[in-house]
Amino acid sequence: MNNHYDVIIVGGGMVGASLALALKQSDLKIALIEAFSVKLDQQPSYDDRGIALSYGSQRIFETMGLWSKLAPYSTTISDIHISDRGHFGATRLSAKQEGVPALGQVILARAMGQVFNQAMLEQENLDLICPANVTELEQTEQHVIISLNDGQQLSANLIVAADGANSTIRRLLNLAVTENDYQQVAITANISTERPHLGKAFERFAETGPVALLPMSDNRSSLIWTVNTGEETELLELSDQDFLNRLQVHFGYRLGKLTQVGQRGSFPLKMTQTQQPVQQRIVFIGNAAHNLHPIAGQGFNLGLRDVAVLADKLCSTYADCGDPELLHDYQRWQQSDQDTVIKTTDLLVNLFSNDNALLGHARGAGLALLDILPRTKSHIAQSSMGLANKQSRLARGIDL
């Protein structure tokens, strides 16, 4: 069958595109199906948000040969300052102390999309099929057949579902998910400030939820402000100046006066985890497998580690990409990373989105303690940099 592939990736967002690009040097025949045209700058996930990439993610992109294309759009995070509004205690993580050139990088999601899409258009072993949607799916022992909304039928040894939190593939397979609706909304915007950020990222926990400002280009900082569901309506409707005034009260004056705000966006926050992410000749990665609260900026970083481990397995000795052993091998490697990040993120949301006074004091004490315990702090820094987990060749700087 001419329409047969080794691997079909469904979803060309940050994670699906990264997998296609990681497999560039392989001799696999790959197709990627994306609901939006990749030539029109329309994909919803490639908006004006700043995405914090861990140092580990930067290393993966370096090995893939993509970092030189992403670097011009990135801003280095040299320090992270974490504090709790109204409570004693703060902690600071610094690249210098950790002995690394950067704790991470912040990249405009839109720029990342443009780099990925251009690189995919130039990739020889990849057929980009878009705009197209998967409408049906049939699994057999030998392959999976999928039907698209334009009437095409394709088959593959392996389907990788990278089609986001509301995965169509998951729905077609009728798979169960674990869900936790936080009843919170993230408000995003790019903010200009009176003082230069000097590469500092801030995470400040306030009664209405955490406020994070990540350093970006042109001395702007990328805001993620988490509020309870319902409170976002008023904040989104405020004039720019009233919004800045409100934010200033919550964030304080660490960057001086907040002077300008760009377009505001809002994202309802829910954790979803596909209960059985490995099926017969199908595997779920990225948000299709686990959609996280953005409190710790780990969603894409974890998805990229899924990509690195899966690409590693697909380029190893297995003759058939859909071999059940290969998929279970992938899951064995990646499961503990996924479980740890999901649990830690959930814990942070519960600890830091709670206005209980006792918890507030405990947080303050914890932050102060953390600041004087270099070992624990260093462990946390290493984890958030994605360095604690080096299970794939891409993460270790080795070509596939």
Positions touching ligand FAD (CB under 6 A) are 10-16, 33-36, 43, 45, 49, 51-52, 133-134, 162-164, 168, 186, 188, 224, 267, 286-287, 294, 297-301, 303
Residues 6 or more apart in contact with residue 27 via CB below 8 angstroms: 125
Could you give the count of Cα atoms lying within 13 Å of 7 in the half-sphere of its Cβ? Answer: 32
Least distance to ligand FAD, CB of residue 213, Å: 12
**Shortest separation between residue 361's beta carbon and ligand FAD, angstroms:** 29
- Min. distance of Cβ 286 from ligand FAD in angstroms? 3
Instruction: Output the smallest distance, CB 328 to ligand FAD, in A.
Output: 22
Pick 306 or 364: Cβ nearer ligand FAD: 306
Residues whose CB falls within 8 Å of the CB of residue 385, separated by 6 or more in sequence, listed in order: 54, 55, 56, 98, 100, 103, 104
- Let me know: does 262 contact 190? Beta carbons within 8 Å: yes
| SS3 state at 90 | strand
- Pick between residue 6 and residue 163 the one whose CB is nearest to ligand FAD: 163
Buried b / exposed e along 166-199 (16+ C-beta atoms within 10 A): ebbbbebbebebeeeebebbbbbbbbbbeeebeb
Strands (E) in 112-233, as ranges, are: 126-129, 134-139, 144-148, 153-161, 177-193, 200-206, 209-215, 220-228
195 phi/psi in degrees, rounded to 5? -95, 150
Give dist(CA 324, CA 335) in Å, integer: 16
Smallest separation (angstroms) from ligand FAD to the CB of 109: 7
Beta bridge partners of 347: none
| CB of 51 or CB of 367, closer to ligand FAD | 51
CB 214 → ligand FAD: shortest distance, Å?
Answer: 7
Rounded to a whole number of angstroms, the minimum distance from the CB of residue 11 to ligand FAD is 3
DSSP string of 38-78, one letter each residue: TTTT--TTSSS-EEEEEHHHHHHHHHTT-HHHHGGGEEEE-
Contact partners, residue 164, CB within 8 Å, separation at least 6: 11, 13, 45, 286, 287, 288, 291
| Nearest approach, Cβ of residue 351 and ligand FAD (Å) | 19
- Choice between 164 and 210, CB closer to ligand FAD: 164
**Smallest separation (angstroms) from ligand FAD to the CB of 7:** 15
Residue of minimal Cβ distance to ligand FAD: 13
Q: Measured between alpha carbons, how far is 116 from 107 in angstroms, rounded to an integer? A: 13
Considering the complex, state which of residue 3 and residue 133 has its C-beta at the smaller distance from ligand FAD: 133
Between 63 and 364, name the residue whose CB sits nearer to ligand FAD.
Answer: 63
Residue 48 contacts residue 262 (beta carbons within 8 Å)? yes
Q: Which is nearer to ligand FAD, 297 or 322 (CB)?
A: 297
CB of 113 to ligand FAD, least distance (A): 9
When the beta carbons of 87 and 293 are compared against ligand FAD, the nearer one is 293
CA 57 to chain centre: 10
Cα 149 to its chain centre, rounded Å, is 28
Nearer to ligand FAD, 201 or 258 (CB): 201
Our CB check for ligand FAD shows the closer of 210 and 360 to be 210
**Going by DSSP bridges, is the β-strand pair 79-84/200-206 parallel, antiparallel, or unpaired?**
parallel
